[in-house]
Amino acid sequence: FMKELRPENIEDIIAGVALYRPGPYGFHSEVYKGKRNPGLITYDCPEIKPILENTYGCIVYQEQVMQIVRDLAGYSMGRSDLVRRAMSKKKASVMEKERQNFVYGNEEEGIPGCIAKGIDEATANHIYDEMIDFAKYAFNKSHAACYAVVAYQTAYLRCYYPAEFFAALMTSFMDNQGKTAEYIDVVKSFGIKILPPDVNSAEIGFSVSDGAIRYGLSAVKGVGRSAALQIINERKLHGPFKDFEDFVMRVTDKGINRRAIEYFVQAGGTDSMKGNRREKIAMTPMIIDSKAKEKVNSMAGQMTLADLLGEDNKEAAEFRITMPKLTEFTKGELLQFEKEALGFYLSGHPLDEFSDAIKANVSASSFDFRRDPESGNVNLRNKQRVTIGGIITEVKTKITSRQQKQMAFVQLEDMVGTVEVIVFPNVFEIKKSLLTEDRKVFIYGYVDGTGDGDSKLIADNIYSFEEAPKELWLQFESKESFLDLQQKVDRVIYEHQGSDFVSIYLRKEKAVKNLDRNQAVHVNDALLKEFEHLIGEKNVKVTYKVLKKVQN
């Protein structure tokens, strides 16, 4: 709406806010016309021009009605407010009765009327008719102005200070993991990095660091606001944590337990310190045990090694706990741990490598199925047909009472959250082999928005990611270089026959050659590695096409 209006000043934004409601929305086209072509604007009389100039010749606000009856018919401030109230409450009989006063005046009540002020009867009645129409969508300008100023400030901050804006926004929704995940997705689309909750630099909420957004300490599972504040105060009083052992030793005194420390490690909060995440998790109980023994000795009046030699003494350093040498967790394990600690994936997502296939096939995300707690609205219409894609995280099967057939309730996780999918017996019987946890699938179906909670998807068809049609692109410097390698290319294609089409691009000639169907391949890692070895990784690319949404 605002894009069509193309606001140039705060007055335009105020008008946009007043018009963007179900009642007046039909009148917005008149404002558009006047704004884009001022020559089309006409005024019923010269006296009305200064009142309607800011809204391109259209009555938009209650305050304009008050000014019209004052300037054109001589109403007092109090009397004009009575007209405003009658209009805002849609009192047609009162408004029609007031027409006489507006056009002809009322000497007893001190109203001169339009005719007495030089405006002819027909024009006065026409203006009053327009005000009657306006009563259908009356809105006060002061109310619209409040929203417009906030909208302007929000847009300004989002445009010129995007990192600061989103950091503040995510802090306000820190307890809502679904909203946080949605905003992180938006932030990444802006090219803004999301940094882990580093124990030496993170604040309680989201903060900005060199143009990136730093995750808040209190958003880590098992931590909370008070524990986060303890960590920040410890940093301020005794300086940054020198290493992982120093961090654990100092925060265990502050009531932060082993599990919370492990969550910090899983979330990447200690990545700036020496050692990988597996090594730190293995080391945590050793440090906590050492701290407990130190505390017992201290209570017994015994001096610790640090007391005798000083914490920075080289000899004391030799007696510190040695970090075990362990291989880091796999990428998949690291991501899973991040989700456990933060509620979602931070440094990446298991679906990242399938982003092209998802873009080609998915028409809705899990966020679109969520019901807004304030408005009660859902982005998707009931019965709307969509395709979603993601990882199956849970499958619950059930035998139907009437037909005694098996069906399933599936939880599907995408980039921003989870959606429930109902798979009835007719689809389940055909696609049950795909309904296993950790399977990556596309599901086509229609939206069920009949309940009070989030909408669900009723499955019509299910496809594995592997079924998504792909096209393999091979780039060569020239036709000559392609011909030199053609035999080797043909051999690789022959060894990996399938249904994915192959296209050749000749850079020098800027020509494309689409290979025949009998030269289609099955795109997989082995095939890609062979071609990358043959012509170079940068010359091999896979693109995805849209699946046929066949209903069962």
Q: Is the pLDDT of residue 401 over 50?
A: yes
Q: Give every CB contact of residue 539 below 8 A, 6+ residues apart in sequence.
A: 474, 475, 476, 531
pLDDT tens across 52-83, in order? 998 888 888 889 999 999 999 999 999 999 88
Q: How far apart are CA 209 and CA 202, in angstroms?
A: 9
Q: pLDDT (tens digit, 9 = 90+) per residue, 169-227?
A: 999 988 887 788 888 888 988 999 999 999 999 999 999 999 999 999 998 988 888 99
The CA radius of gyration of the chain, in Å to the nearest whole number, is 34
The CATH code for residues 162-318 is 1.10.150
Domain ranges of the chain: 2-144, 162-318, 352-466, 470-544
Class of domain 352-466: mainly beta
C-alpha distances out from residue 53 to 27, 41, 72, 75, 413, Å: 16, 9, 16, 21, 52
Contact 229, 204 (CB under 8 A): yes
pLDDT at 38: 84
The yes-or-no verdict on residue 552 having pLDDT over 50 is: no
Question: What percentage of the chain exceeds 90 in pLDDT?
Answer: 63
The HSE-up count of residue 248 (CA atoms within 13 Å, CB side) is: 28
Share of the chain above pLDDT 70, in %: 92
Mean pLDDT of 516-542: 94
- Cα maximum dimension of the chain: 104
The highest-confidence range among 4-8, 90-94, 298-302, 317-321, by mean pLDDT, is 4-8
pLDDT at position 495 is 95
